[in-house]
């Protein structure tokens, strides 16, 4: 990754039709396959899909959707954002993505994480009190598996392995990242295992994440590990004008923040929060020029190798397609000019 890449990603959030009625999950999945095809046609570098197990998100198996996308695209890299490793089996994760890598001719990536929701723990029979040990052990095993060498491993969360190989092998290895929300411990763990750092910046200014990028570099130096890439992921929507973009996003953003607050004990949004998050925080909403300036400013304060635009706001699919189109055709070229 010698120059900055630009991607898009989605959690597979349920969209709405022109009347504001939620779209059924099967159509949402078909629509985001179309989104990936458009992103590939626009020359974007990456398309990511997140794993969730709840009614407001349509995708519970990113690899299946990405495999469908692989047959319809040529160049764009394909990955999970994220795979909830804590409630999955690292061997199966490696096998599925190695298979995707073969089907896509070497374009697969893994972004492993603990996930921002916990529904998968009871769904797959895991205890929340094991939250930390599950992720630590499974990430350690995944780090050994992606070397594609015989693996010997012992842990408390699954059966051990003795000189075990896993298949299929890949042609050039699997680019692997760890999704991090912003804890120093997670950054150091990512460095120790030799993975790329995938920073999820979903609130507040990008500037406050600069110490994590510096910590990642220092930790790799201390561990004697060659520097791995850093990616940033933030939400937004591009429309022809600032006013149109804000109008499209506002109501859905307010409902989402209110719902998440009720689930997690956050305070309800205050008047002006939406505007402040656009002006000074992690919400990239506006015209192509507005969004391009904000991305360029982010790249000016963070030493990163890729910016991923999380485009799936609770709007219509047509608004998503318009947003991706404007991002690929106007925003990315403007950002490249600004940072050159």
What are the pLDDT digits (tens) for 73-94? 999 999 999 999 999 999 999 9
pLDDT at 265: 80
CATH topology of domain 5-339: TIM Barrel (3.20.20)
Q: Which long-range contacts (CB under 8 A, 24 or more apart) does 54-60 make?
A: 54/117, 54/119, 55/14, 56/13, 56/14, 57/11, 57/12, 57/13, 57/14, 58/12, 58/13, 58/14, 58/25, 58/26, 58/28, 58/29, 58/32, 59/11, 59/12, 59/29, 59/32
Q: How do the domains of the chain map onto residue ranges?
A: 5-339
pLDDT at 27: 98
Low-confidence ranges of the chain (pLDDT < 70): 1-2
pLDDT at 266: 79
pLDDT at 2: 62
Q: Which of 300, 301, 290, 302 is nearest to 334 (CA)?
A: 290
pLDDT at 1: 60
What is the rounded CA–CA span in Å between residue 308 and residue 129? 32
Residue whose entry in the numeric block shows the structure tokens 């070397």: 147
- pTM for the whole thing? 0.96
pLDDT at 264: 76
């Amino acid at each position: 990754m010698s120059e900055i890449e630009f991607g898009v990603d989605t959690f597979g959030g349920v969209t709405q039709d022109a009347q504001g009625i939620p779209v059924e999950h099967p159509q949402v999945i078909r629509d985001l396959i179309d989104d990936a095809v458009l992103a590939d046609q626009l020359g974007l570098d990456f398309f990511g899909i997140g794993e969730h197990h709840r009614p407001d998100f349509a995708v519970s198996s990113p690899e299946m959707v990405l495999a469908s996308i692989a047959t319809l695209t040529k160049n764009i890299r394909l990955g999970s954002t994220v795979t909830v490793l804590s409630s999955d089996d690292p061997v199966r994760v490696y096998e599925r993505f190695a298979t995707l890598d073969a089907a896509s001719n070497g374009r697969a990536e893994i972004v492993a994480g603990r996930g921002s929701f916990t529904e998968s723990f009871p769904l797959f029979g895991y205890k929340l009190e094991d939250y930390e040990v599950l992720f630590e052990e499974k990430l350690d095993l995944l780090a050994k598996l992606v070397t594609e060498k015989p693996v010997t491993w012992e842990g408390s969360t699954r059966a051990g392995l003795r000189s075990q190989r896993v298949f299929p092998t890949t042609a050039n290895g699997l680019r692997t990242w760890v999704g991090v929300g912003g804890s120093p411990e997670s950054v150091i763990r990512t460095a120790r295992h030799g993975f790329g750092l995938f920073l999820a910046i979903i609130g507040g200014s990008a500037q406050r994440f600069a110490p994590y990028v510096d910590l990642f570099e220092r930790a790799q130096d201390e561990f004697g590990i060659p520097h791995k890439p850093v990616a940033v992921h933030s939400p937004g929507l591009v429309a022809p004008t600032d006013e149109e973009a804000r109008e499209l996003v506002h109501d859905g953003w307010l409902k989402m923040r209110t719902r998440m607050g009720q689930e997690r004990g956050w305070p309800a949004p205050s008047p002006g929060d939406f505007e402040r998050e656009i002006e000074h925080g992690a919400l990239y909403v506006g015209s192509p020029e507005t969004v391009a300036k904000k991305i360029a400013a982010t790249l000016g304060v963070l030493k990163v190798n890729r910016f991923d635009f999380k485009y799936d706001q609770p709007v219509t699919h047509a608004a998503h397609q318009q947003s991706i189109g404007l991002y690929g055709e106007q925003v990315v070229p403007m950002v490249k000019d600004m940072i050159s």
